[in-house]
Amino acid sequence: MSGQEITIQGRDGAFMGYLAAPGSGRGPGIVVIQEIFGVNAVMREICDGLAARGFFALAPDLFWRLQPGVQLTDKTDGEWQQAFGLMKRFDPDKGVSDIQSTIDSLRAHPGANGKVGAVGYCLGGLLAYLTAARTDSDASVGYYGVNIQTKLDEAKTIKHPLMLHIAEEDEFVNHAAQDQIVSGLKGNPQVTIHRYPAMNHAFARVGGKHYDKACADLPNTRTATFFRQYLS
């Protein structure tokens, strides 16, 4: 199954999104929130996989204001440098606005049932948390989100279910930051947190340096069950 690039109308202008549709032509929607590498092959494959499970999966190009159409890999130092450069210039507030526009687009898509969730990785993991706090996403999931501990004051506005997957040996989120996240969110009944011992950042990125299929299968199964529960 393969998707197609579409145009999403945002508050500040139009931008590209990669959309994969279920074979049935009907189902809930999921916004797939990119890592720092753009809407690359990894994000597109995630969309295709979700479509195979019965979802409309749409990955918006959140770097469009900086450089439209970024598709980097994690295989060369040059691409890493470019990715980190884009992340440093990226405005998360604008990104969340674009995610809300993407949610709106999915809700209005022909065949969609009106329920829309979000799943994000790395930078997208932080944005998934902010999506739960600031948008009307019906259910959100973040994988190894970076800097969530700096945004814990927003936890009080989370009104829909949020699941976070934390890698306990994440090189970008130390143990103190992880403990802050767990402590800061433990009082919110909407939030579920899973921690994965011995796992490093991006352990669920297929083909990545830290990819661990056995451990990645567990959060992926939990995520699939979570979305079936809240988006059906």
The DSSP H or E segment spanning 18 is: strand 14-20
Amino acid in position 17: G
- Contact predicate 118/74, CB 8 Å: no
So what's the pLDDT on residue 159? 95
pTM (two decimals) = 0.97
Catalytic residue among 74, 109, 138, 201: 201
- Please state the rounded mean pLDDT for residues 119-145: 98
Check if 170 is active-site.
Answer: yes
Catalytic residue among 77, 170, 210, 217: 170
- Under CATH, what is the fold of the domain 4-231? Rossmann fold (3.40.50)
Distances (CA, A) of 8 to 23, 57, 103, 177, 190: 22, 13, 10, 35, 29
Check if 201 is active-site.
Answer: yes
Average pLDDT taken over every residue of the chain: 97
Dihedral sign of CA atoms 44, 45, 46, 49 in order: positive
115: closest CA among 54, 24, 48? 54
Per DSSP, 42 falls in state H
Model confidence over 139-162: pLDDT tens digits?
999 999 999 999 999 999 999 999
Phi and psi at 42, nearest 5°, equal -65, -45
Q: Where are the domains of the chain?
A: 4-231
Please report which confidence band the pLDDT of residue 134 belongs to, taking 50, 70 and 90 as the band edges: very high
- Alpha helix ranges (H) inside the chain: 41-52, 77-89, 92-107, 123-134, 175-185, 213-231
